[in-house]
Structure 1
């Protein structure tokens, strides 16, 4: 059931395997099986035997459309073209990946579950920092926009004053001779 033991995978490799499906960060069953050093069929059988431990927010099966999009994606490592088409891949959320480690009889699964948790946490922190950065940029942009609007008004006023100075009003001339108006 278990393949030849492979060395521990760096957290960065795991974070690259995490993809977003249905708005959730997940690991596909074949990726998770490779990390836990079991074959995909053994992982899926263990999950099926322990179905009560995997509610929808821990694991879900991809739709055919999602599976086809996944197969065309360049960011996913493995190809799923040899998979039985009747069974689209399963997607494991962070909690589902940890639960899978608890049901597998593999020392590697227990060891790797720590790295999987760290990868999900690292990804979550990265996304949170990006949201904070985006908020700061929005705040800065709104402040700059307000300042620019004020500057535009000042510059427009200055240009109007300069134009008035460049074209001074013609002095009123008194007409020659006697006029009844005493201006």
Structure 2
């Protein structure tokens, strides 16, 4: 299998990136957003992030992530990220590459940690990945996610802190 190359997002990547992003939105199982983004909106959104990184296998984009502050002002020193991997490419280590890279970039940007506010409880693959890397599950939010089918699912808050020298184990 051809190796995965990570690249900084460029405006010309808008169509491929929005296609992958919108696949996840349309699934209605993982992202808080419930509206697909036209290419122009997606492009503006990806360009305004602290970082948007794309994953490529040859000349095909297979995933991406966005990195930005989790909050504003006095709470802006903790990062947040969202990841999207193309359907049919999941389970091949692309997500791990994206998460590990986001941790390195977040630390290099001066963030003190990386926090996920709403990891859906049924997203067991993501939870196993995060925990294997060293994220700590902090709390459960009962019925924190309104699923596409109308039901409610629990969510979890996860944190990877750079203050506890966790990066030494990374």
The answer to which structure has the higher helix fraction is: 1
Give the structure, 1 or 2, with the largest relative contact order (CA under 8 Å, sep 6 or more).
1
Q: Give yes or no for TM over 0.5.
A: no
Q: Which has the larger radius of gyration?
A: 1
TM-score between both structures, scaled by the size of structure 2: 0.28
TM-score between both structures, scaled by the size of structure 1: 0.27
